[in-house]
Amino acid sequence: MRKRTEPVALEHERCAAAGSSSSGSAAAALDADCRLKQNLRLTGTGAAEPRCAADAGMKRALGRRKGLWLRLRKILFCVLGLYIAIPFLIKLCPGIQAKLIFLNFVRVPYFIDLKKPQDQGLNHTCNYYLQPEEDVTIGVWHTVPAVWWKNAQGKDQMWYEDALASSHAIILYLHGNAGTRGGDHRVELYKVSAGGIHTCSLGWGDSVGTPSERGMTYDALHVFDWIKARSGDNPVYIWGHSLGTGVATNLVRRLCERETPPDALILESPFTNIREEAKSHPFSVIYRYFPGFDWFFLDPITSSGIKFANDENVKHISCPLLILHAEDDPVVPFQLGRKLYSIAAPARSFRDFKVQFVPFHSDLGYRHKYIYKSPELPRILREFLGKSEPEHQH
Active site residues: 242, 329, 368
CB atoms within 10 A of CB 164: 21
Region of 199 please: left (phi>0), alpha (psi -120 to 50) or beta.
beta
CB atoms within 10 A of CB 199: 25
Amino acid at 333: P
Amino acid at 35: R
Where would I find the H helices in 127-242? 157-163, 184-193, 213-231
Helix (H, G, I), strand (E, B), or coil: what is residue 359? strand
User: What secondary structure letter does DSSP report for 369?
Assistant: T
Contact, 386 vs 237, CB < 8 A?
A: no
CA-atom Rg of the chain in angstroms: 43
Contact, 276 vs 284, CB < 8 A?
A: no
Contact, 123 vs 149, CB < 8 A?
A: yes
What is the CB-side half-sphere exposure of residue 373 using CA atoms within 13 A? 12
d(C-alpha 261, C-alpha 236), whole Å: 9
d(C-alpha 93, C-alpha 85), whole Å: 12
List the one residue out of 304, 294, 279, 247 whose CA is nearest residue 97: 304
Where would I find the H helices in the chain? 2-92, 94-102, 157-163, 184-193, 213-231, 243-257, 274-280, 293, 299-303, 310-313, 334-344, 377-385
Question: Taking the C-alpha atoms of 315, 173, 213 and 111 in order, what is their torsion angle to the nearest 10 degrees?
Answer: 160
Q: Please give the angle made by the CA atoms of 293, 295 and 298, to the nearest 5 degrees.
A: 75
Show contacts of 78-83: CB within 8 Å, 24+ apart: 83/286
